[in-house]
Amino acid sequence: AAAKITIDPAFTVGPVRRRTFGAFVEHLGRCVYTGIFEPEHPKADEDGFRADVLELTRELGVSTVRYPGGNFVSGYRWEDGVGPVEQRPARLDLAWHSTDPNLVGVDEFAKWSVKAGVEPMMAVNLGTRGTQEALDLLEYCNIDGGTAFSDQRKSNGSENGYGIKMWCLGNEMDGPWQIGHKNALEYGRLAADTARGMRMIDPDLELVVCGSSSPGMDTFGEWERVVLTETYELVDLISAHQYFEDFGDLQEHLAAGYKMESFIADIVSHIDHVKSVKKSAKQVNISFDEWNVWHGSRAESKAPGGKDWPVAPVLLEDRYTVADAVVVGDLLITLLRNTDRVHSASLAQLVNVIAPIMTEPGGRAWKQTTFHPFALTSRHAAGTVLQLAVESPLVSGGKTADFAALSAVATFDAEAGEAVVFAANRSATDALTLDAAVAGLGNVRVIEAVTYANKDPYWQATADDSTSVLPADNVTVKADGGRLTAELPAVSWSMIRLA
Ligand code: AHR
């Protein structure tokens, strides 16, 4: 089948935002303990952080990292995680039925962020706690000194405030599983009070109010309307969370990007409805701060129970296939394509827990399949996101109505004179012949073309073999006389760089 696109730098969507390439570190399973932090590991640095994980985090090209949760944050006392380590209490983590030894807290995370070269994005607990504790944490983190909490931070070893800009006002407060779950009005009022206070400390914070945990929530839409009615002038972003599972139907799985696209469109209409009713000049946008493939029905996703409250249990340690990587690549394409309204995003999560980076306690760190499209997109998407004209055959994915087999986006870096096309072929069965009109870019040639696909789309990387299926040169890609042509195999993700 043939698909056509036209790429012209005259048609733009908005800037490529570094914050699109965020990730997430939650106190959950082995994400923190034996993930980013493992003092006994041979590669641990002087602060107990795994240097191999730091290196992979930098290679992944992560921009922001959201912390410390997730569901965890809704029962978290941030004070437990600061001060002399030997005096910190071990606490029950109700969200994941675990014990948290509190060896890592905000100071360690801030230090790790500097080493990883990422911007921290902090979440406050609006489940079991409220406005005052959020203000205390903000004071602890961002005030340089001269107050009780800022001086406490200094005496804990951090002379200067961390200057954390992005703050999440709780997590998934629409979810009945959330400790302190509230209805939209209760939550909207609490979020507004908290945001008002936080802005009194620093008017330039970027605040994220909780949107829906998934488009499938019964309250989706109405939740956004009520919460934004309470908070519109006080927040900058509303969160969106969405995970995708295979359920043994590959074609349906490949519809993930299409479903994310329609979720974004719906959220935009809910935001803009409130904006219009309020006659506001302000534009609230989206923080897509949890997204990924998550095979939630698998055994390792089940939290421990009963009297068992382990430290850092194996939880949500999904193993990803090449098909999952194609989905992740397409979800990133979708986020970029919506850069006008999606101003921040976080792949959930970074290490071990539904993650592109895996570790063995005391042993190796290795890359899952999903690492590759993320790292390549983060490294090469630059400048401006272009609006493409796309003509594609449709595929039908079981439950999902006809959707385009080709999902594509292009970025254009005028300074470097480089355009990059990112494309997913979402057909489970048919290759696509791509025919792109690129005359608008001038006389360009192909400087790199790679495709990620495999005869067996269910191939998974392991600690022993994480390299035998990698993105490989696509030798079919040609650019000549204002035309770019390429063969895109079924279930594939590609990146084509032109200059
Ligand atoms: O990322 C895993 C969990 O998914 C998070 O803790 C929660 O916010 C979401 O339900």
Helix (H) or strand (E) run with residue 383 in it: none
DSSP 8-state symbol, 203: T
C-alpha–C-alpha distance, residues 171 and 126, integer Å? 8
**Hey, what domains does the chain have and what are their CATH numbers?**
2-9+385-498 (2.60.40.1180), 18-380 (3.20.20.80)
Q: Give me the pLDDT at residue 297, please.
A: 76
Closest C-alpha among 81, 100, 50 to residue 156: 81
Q: Give me the pLDDT at residue 120, please.
A: 98
Q: Give me the pLDDT at residue 157, please.
A: 97
C-alpha–C-alpha distance, residues 83 and 165, integer Å? 23
Provide the token pair at 240.
């969106």
Q: Give me the pLDDT at residue 299, please.
A: 66
Helix (H) or strand (E) run with residue 133 in it: helix 131-142
Alpha carbon of 71 to ligand 1 centroid (Å): 6
Identity of the residue numbered 238: I
Ligand 1 near 172 CB (within 6 A): yes
Residues sharing a CB contact under 8 Å with residue 453, sequence separation 6 or more, in sequence order: 322, 326, 489, 490, 491, 492, 493
> If 0-12 CB within 10 Å is exposed, 13-18 middle and 19+ buried, where does residue 40 land?
exposed
C-alpha–C-alpha distance, residues 123 and 116, integer Å? 19
C-alpha–C-alpha distance, residues 102 and 436, integer Å? 53
Q: Give me the pLDDT at residue 123, please.
A: 98
Best of 25, 94, 242, 290 for a ligand 1 pocket test (most atoms within 8 Å of beta carbon): 290
Q: Give me the pLDDT at residue 302, please.
A: 76
Strand pairing category for 2-6 and 432-437: parallel
C-alpha–C-alpha distance, residues 230 and 314, integer Å? 39
Ligand 1 near 70 CB (within 6 A): yes
Active-site residue list: 172, 290
Alpha carbon of 180 to ligand 1 centroid (Å): 15
Ligand 1 near 71 CB (within 6 A): yes
Is omega for the bond preceding 39 within 30 degrees of 0, making it cis?
A: no
Provide the token pair at 6.
């036209």
Alpha carbon of 90 to ligand 1 centroid (Å): 22
Q: Are 274 and 229 in contact (CB under 8 A)?
A: yes
Helix (H) or strand (E) run with residue 346 in it: strand 342-347
The CB density around residue 330, as the number of other CB atoms within 10 Å, is: 27
**CA distance readout (Å), 10 to 13, 385, 395, 414, 420:** 10, 11, 30, 11, 15
Strand pairing category for 237-244 and 206-209: parallel
Alpha carbon of 70 to ligand 1 centroid (Å): 5
Instruction: State which ligand 1 atom lies nearest to the alpha carbon of 213.
Output: 10
Q: Give me the pLDDT at residue 372, please.
A: 98
Q: Are 315 and 353 in contact (CB under 8 A)?
A: yes
Torsion, CA 96, CA 102, CA 106, CA 109, rounded to 10:
-80
Closest C-alpha among 415, 342, 407, 422 to residue 14: 342
Phi, psi of 55 (to 5 degrees): -65, -45
Closest C-alpha among 207, 212, 206, 208 to residue 178: 212
Ligand 1 near 171 CB (within 6 A): yes
Ranges in the chain, pLDDT < 70: 299, 397
Q: Give me the pLDDT at residue 300, please.
A: 74
Residue 417, Ramachandran bin (φ over 0: left; ψ between -120 and 50: alpha; else beta): left
DSSP 8-state symbol, 233: G
Instruction: State which ligand 1 atom lies nearest to the alpha carbon of 177.
Output: 10
Alpha carbon of 32 to ligand 1 centroid (Å): 15
Closest C-alpha among 320, 324, 325 to residue 250: 324
Q: Give me the pLDDT at residue 298, please.
A: 75
C-alpha–C-alpha distance, residues 397 and 394, integer Å? 10
Q: Give me the pLDDT at residue 397, please.
A: 67
Ligand 1 near 174 CB (within 6 A): no
> If 0-12 CB within 10 Å is exposed, 13-18 middle and 19+ buried, where does residue 345 land?
buried
Q: Give me the pLDDT at residue 401, please.
A: 82
C-alpha–C-alpha distance, residues 121 and 276, integer Å? 29
DSSP 8-state symbol, 469: S
> What is the total residue count of the chain?
499
Best of 25, 67, 168, 172 for a ligand 1 pocket test (most atoms within 8 Å of beta carbon): 172
Closest C-alpha among 364, 312, 401 to residue 101: 312
